[in-house]
Amino acid sequence: MQEVIIGILFLAALFFMGRKLYRQYKAKDSCATGCEKCSPSSSKDFKMPEHLRN
């Protein structure tokens, strides 16, 4: 019975680790959590400062 419980816990841990890795590489504009709090806004234009232009 103990082996079954350990096996279930191990499979659950593998599932959550795999899901985290999948979300990390799937996400384009946000972090691995998928909450979209830290994603940059797409409507904001970036302007290069004058002293950095060639």
Q: What is the pLDDT of residues 11-45, one digit of tens each?
A: 999 999 999 988 877 755 555 565 666 655 555 66
Share in percent of the chain as helix, strand, coil (round to 5): 50, 0, 50
The per-residue pLDDT for 24 is 78
The per-residue pLDDT for 44 is 60
The domain total for the chain is 1
51 belongs to a structural domain: no
4 belongs to a structural domain: yes
The per-residue pLDDT for 52 is 80
Higher per-residue pLDDT: 51 or 28: 51
6 belongs to a structural domain: yes
Model confidence at 47: pLDDT above 90: no
5 belongs to a structural domain: yes
- Cα 17 from Cα 50, distance rounded (Å): 45
52 belongs to a structural domain: no
Domain that holds residue 7: 1-35
The per-residue pLDDT for 33 is 61
20 belongs to a structural domain: yes
Q: Which residue has the tokens 């419980």?
A: 5
